[in-house]
Amino acid sequence: MKRLLKFLLSTLFFLISFTGLNVLAADSVSYSTHVENIGWQNYFSDGQTAGTTGKALQIEAIKILVNNGSDEVEYSTHVENIGWTAPVKNDNISGTTGKCLQIEAINIKLNGSIAQRCDIYYRTHVADVGWLGWAKNGENAGTAGGAKQMEAIEIVLLPKGNMAPGSTNNAFIDFKNQNSRPSQSGPLKVVGNKLTNQAGIPVQLRGVSTHGLAWFPEYVNQQLFYELHNNWNANVVRLALYTAEYNGYCTGGDQNALKGLVKAGIEFASNADMYVIVDWHVLNDQNPMTYKEQAKQYFNEISSQYKNNSNIIYEICNEPNGGVDWNTIKNYALEVIPVIRANDPDAVIIVGTPTWSQDVDQAVLNPITEYNNIMYAFHFYAATHKDDLRNKLINATNAGLPIFVSEFGVCDASGNGNLDLDSANIWINTLNSNNISYVCWSLCNKPESASLINSNCKKINGFGTEDLTTGGQWLITTLSSPGLPGSSTPTNPVPNTPSTQPTTPSGNLDHSLKLVNEWTSGNSSFYQYDITITNNTSTDISSWEKTIQANQNIKVNNYWNCKIRINDNSLIISNENYNGSLNPGESTTIGLILESNPNLILN
Ligand code: IDC
């Protein structure tokens, strides 16, 4: 009897899994890598990471297959000392084994019917650089000419035309031929009160400021700058060179070392296709006239060396204060601007304004008309500055003054105190809707509220959510959200509405969330949700995609009945091929377990 039951059960199980495979299977890609010192790893699939990170181990060979070999995939690798190898297909080995040769780049494409319904996306993790952007359908991913080993790879199939799983910038870097980079940080100009590209289309720069370079030189590193661009969605980084404080450039600091950091920062930002602000960080010296001669020498050197870079913005005095009036600042500017202009006739130059770069109203009354491409600095700290200062900004913008928020903080003006994220969000909305660029203070782990990195985190790159402060996490969310509507975003375009989204008005494909379980393990909290998707439109749909927002970064621990992509705090859920069609009024429920910091909220 027992045996019979066992037999029946196993038959039933076989039938379920067999039919399940036939009915439930979605398009799927699996891949295995041959790793230095490890050999062939197990197969990973659909976006999982194959290879290793943080271990400095090279991938030497790879095998890829799609739908267990029933569809065709073709791939070629670029191998050290060999170059591009002949393409192979369906689980054949590309690369070498036993020769200790690293793979540096790869391209992968689909053939046949699957190429009609899917895009194949892939991204690589490269030594010294970290994760690059996503390439697709035969584009190259990885590096060339830099002798950099590929250490990990992720591959995923998406319905044709869907948006990429993440940033597509810098999927492939050719170190020998930097000019082959698509120039996303091309020359800018100022038109009326707006920063624009050469075609006159408004551009919005959004990014991060270093802390003082003399305090925190370690955060000027190539991998971090790639990360800022690829993972944080920043398209600008500001290099803050203090003039007076703590071994300041004009008060005993090692000028060559400091200039070296600035130049390295310019190179790293350029490699990562970001704009870079060269900031002369006047603060305790109050009056920019104090070190005017040093400023002229400094800007002369930098602008002559980088006159051909189109991605440099000069900020000639961070925050005049101590009662220094606009006339004084303007006179200073009229001496420094021509020094830069002599080398670089078009670069955008940001001029500080009185009272820690708040009194833009004074510049409105007497702007610099002698030169074009001039902008005016406006700085705020969200926990200190509210409507009054915001009105000053709005009035100056409306009066036609081109304003650049070259520094803001989400804490109070001391760089400490509580964060005020509600206030920060109001500010960001104002900036976005007025085409104003902004840069957040500051990229360091100093134990103060303004810092974006946790003080106990000693890394200098490779930051995960857990390494960032609340302010740091807020910043990534903010930079990853749409900025200025209708502007040309020079880097990291905001994800488009996926093509599979029904064309019915949004809101008609409804979802409801039910937290069914919650537990903690170690430092992580786990949240299990049932998410019910309901077709509340009047038409049949054959596929669906829903974006759900979380209040913090999340990791997917497990999921079922759906496909999942993550874009920072956005969770993009789409149907499997068996639950895509929903008649009007019909629902389907999917399951999901998320790992996050405590207090996760989805909506
Ligand atoms: C602060 C730093 C702090 C440092 C101090 C030096 O956060 O660690 O000790 O400078 O004076 C600004 C300035 C910026 C300030 C920041 C916070 O541009 O240099 O950084 N702030 O006080 N303007 C308003 C606020």
Query: Which DSSP string do the residues of 479-523 spell out, in sequence order?
Result: HHS--STT-B-SSSPPPPPPTTS-SSPTTSEEEEEEEEEEEEETT
Residue 207 confidence (pLDDT):
97
Residue at 493 is within a domain: no
Residue at 14 is within a domain: no
Three-state DSSP class for residue 409: strand
326-370 pLDDT per residue, tens: 999 999 999 999 999 999 999 999 999 999 999 999 999 999 999
Whether 360 and 395 share a structural domain: yes
Helix axes 421-433, 387-398, angle to 10 degrees: 10
Whether 475 and 343 share a structural domain: yes
98-136 pLDDT per residue, tens: 999 999 999 999 999 999 999 999 999 998 778 888 999
Comparing 178-192, 394-408, 570-584, the range with the smallest average pLDDT is 178-192
For 22, residues 6+ apart whose C-beta sits below 8 A from its C-beta are none
Q: Which pLDDT band holds residue 391 (cuts at 50, 70, 90)?
A: very high
Mean pLDDT (the chain) is 87
Whether 277 and 407 share a structural domain: yes
**Mean pLDDT on 562-567:** 81
Whether 166 and 207 share a structural domain: no
Q: DSSP letters of 543-591?
A: --EEEEEBSS-EEEEEEESEEEEEETTEEEEEE-TTS--B-TT-EEEEE
Tell which of 174, 194, 219 closes a domain.
Answer: 174
Residue at 562 is within a domain: yes
Residue at 195 is within a domain: no
- Among the atoms of ligand 1, which is closest to the Cα of residue 450? 7
Q: Ligand 1 mean position to 284 CA, how many Å?
A: 10
Residue 484 confidence (pLDDT):
61
More confidently predicted of 497 and 387: 387
Provide the domain count of the chain.
Answer: 3
* Model confidence at 1: pLDDT above 70: no
Q: Ligand 1 mean position to 431 CA, how many Å?
A: 22
Q: Which pLDDT band holds residue 82 (cuts at 50, 70, 90)?
A: confident
HSE toward the beta carbon, residue 494, CA cutoff 13 A: 18
- Among the atoms of ligand 1, which is closest to the Cα of residue 413? 25
Looking at ligand 1, which residue's alpha carbon is closest to its atom 19? Answer: 283
Residue 536 confidence (pLDDT):
85
Q: Ligand 1 mean position to 466 CA, how many Å?
A: 25
Residue 555 phi/psi, 5-degree rounding, is -125, 135
Residue 505 confidence (pLDDT):
35
Looking at ligand 1, which residue's alpha carbon is closest to its atom 25? Answer: 413
HSE toward the beta carbon, residue 473, CA cutoff 13 A: 17
More confidently predicted of 275 and 515: 275
Residue 8 confidence (pLDDT):
53
Q: Which pLDDT band holds residue 167 (cuts at 50, 70, 90)?
A: confident
Whether 109 and 239 share a structural domain: no
Q: Which two tokens stand for residue 478?
A: 């903010």
- Among the atoms of ligand 1, which is closest to the Cα of residue 409? 25
Q: Ligand 1 mean position to 279 CA, how many Å?
A: 13
By the 8 A CB rule, do 532 and 589 touch? yes
Whether 151 and 208 share a structural domain: no
Element housing 364 (H / E): helix 360-365
Residue 234 confidence (pLDDT):
93
Residue at 346 is within a domain: yes
Whether 392 and 456 share a structural domain: yes
Q: Ligand 1 mean position to 273 CA, how many Å?
A: 27
* Model confidence at 498: pLDDT above 60: no
Q: Which pLDDT band holds residue 522 (cuts at 50, 70, 90)?
A: low
**Mean pLDDT on 449-458:** 97
Q: Which pLDDT band holds residue 572 (cuts at 50, 70, 90)?
A: confident
- C-alpha span between 346 and 335 (Å, rounded): 16
Q: Ligand 1 mean position to 405 CA, how many Å?
A: 15
Burial class of residue 547 (count of CB atoms within 10 Å of its CB; 0-12, 13-18, 19+): middle
Looking at ligand 1, which residue's alpha carbon is closest to its atom 16? Answer: 415
- Among the atoms of ligand 1, which is closest to the Cα of residue 415? 17
308-329 pLDDT per residue, tens: 999 999 999 999 999 999 999 9
CA proximity to 440, closest of 473, 393, 403? 473
* Model confidence at 416: pLDDT above 90: yes
Residue 176 confidence (pLDDT):
58
More confidently predicted of 299 and 532: 299
Q: Ligand 1 mean position to 141 CA, how many Å?
A: 40
Q: Which pLDDT band holds residue 494 (cuts at 50, 70, 90)?
A: very low
By the 8 A CB rule, do 185 and 311 touch? yes
**Mean pLDDT on 465-484:** 89
Looking at ligand 1, which residue's alpha carbon is closest to its atom 12? Answer: 413
Helix axes 470-480, 421-433, angle to 10 degrees: 20
Looking at ligand 1, which residue's alpha carbon is closest to its atom 3? Answer: 415
Whether 511 and 573 share a structural domain: yes
- C-alpha span between 512 and 589 (Å, rounded): 9
Residue 128's domain comprises 20-174
Ligand 1: which of 442, 443, 446, 453 to mutate, most ligand atoms within 8 Å of CB? 442
CA angle 150, 153, 154 (to 5 degrees): 165
Q: Ligand 1 mean position to 414 CA, how many Å?
A: 6
By the 8 A CB rule, do 423 and 383 touch? yes
In percent, the amount of the chain with pLDDT more than 90 equals 62
Looking at ligand 1, which residue's alpha carbon is closest to its atom 15? Answer: 415
Q: Which two tokens stand for residue 415?
A: 């760089």
For 49, residues 6+ apart whose C-beta sits below 8 A from its C-beta are 125, 152, 153, 154
Element housing 525 (H / E): strand 524-535
Whether 422 and 555 share a structural domain: no
- C-alpha span between 454 and 272 (Å, rounded): 24
Residue at 450 is within a domain: yes
Whether 472 and 386 share a structural domain: yes
- Among the atoms of ligand 1, which is closest to the Cα of residue 242? 19
Q: Which pLDDT band holds residue 96 (cuts at 50, 70, 90)?
A: very high
168-214 pLDDT per residue, tens: 877 888 765 543 333 466 899 999 999 998 888 889 999 999 999 99
Comparing 396-405, 430-439, 515-524, the range with the smallest average pLDDT is 515-524
By the 8 A CB rule, do 299 and 337 touch? no
- Among the atoms of ligand 1, which is closest to the Cα of residue 356? 23
Residue at 461 is within a domain: yes
Ligand 1: which of 280, 407, 408, 416 to mutate, most ligand atoms within 8 Å of CB? 407
The catalytic residue positions are 319, 407
Phi and psi based region of residue 69 (left: phi greater than 0; alpha: psi -120 to 50; beta: remaining) = left
Residue 581 confidence (pLDDT):
86
Q: Which two tokens stand for residue 190?
A: 């100022």
Looking at ligand 1, which residue's alpha carbon is closest to its atom 17? Answer: 415
Q: Which pLDDT band holds residue 4 (cuts at 50, 70, 90)?
A: low
By the 8 A CB rule, do 596 and 555 touch? yes
For 16, residues 6+ apart whose C-beta sits below 8 A from its C-beta are none
Residue 5 confidence (pLDDT):
53
Which DSSP letter does residue 249 get?
T
- CA distances, 578 to each of 19, 46, 301, 529, 591 (Å): 12, 18, 63, 20, 15
Residue at 398 is within a domain: yes
Q: Which pLDDT band holds residue 410 (cuts at 50, 70, 90)?
A: very high
Tell which of 125, 156, 174 closes a domain.
Answer: 174
Taking the alpha carbons of 424, 426, 430, 432 in that order, is the dihedral positive or negative?
Answer: positive
Whether 304 and 394 share a structural domain: yes
Whether 467 and 519 share a structural domain: no
- C-alpha span between 336 and 295 (Å, rounded): 7
Ligand 1: which of 246, 283, 357, 408 to mutate, most ligand atoms within 8 Å of CB? 283
CA proximity to 214, closest of 259, 172, 275, 171? 259
Residue-wise over 217-228: b if at least 16 C-beta within 10 A, else e? bebbbbbbbbbb
Residue-wise over 330-352: b if at least 16 C-beta within 10 A, else e? bebbeebbebbbebbeebbbbbb
Paired sense of beta strands 29-35 and 39-40, if any: antiparallel
Q: Which two tokens stand for residue 465?
A: 């959510």
- Among the atoms of ligand 1, which is closest to the Cα of residue 441? 16
For 239, residues 6+ apart whose C-beta sits below 8 A from its C-beta are 210, 213, 220, 261, 262, 265, 266, 276, 277, 278, 279
CA proximity to 165, closest of 175, 155, 153, 173? 155
Looking at ligand 1, which residue's alpha carbon is closest to its atom 1? Answer: 415
Three-state DSSP class for residue 147: coil
Residue 19 confidence (pLDDT):
38
Q: Ligand 1 mean position to 475 CA, how many Å?
A: 18
Q: Which pLDDT band holds residue 10 (cuts at 50, 70, 90)?
A: low
Q: Which residues approach ligand 1 with their CB closer than 6 A?
A: 245, 283, 318-319, 356, 379, 381, 407, 409, 413-415, 441-442, 446, 448, 450
Tell which of 174, 194, 217 closes a domain.
Answer: 174
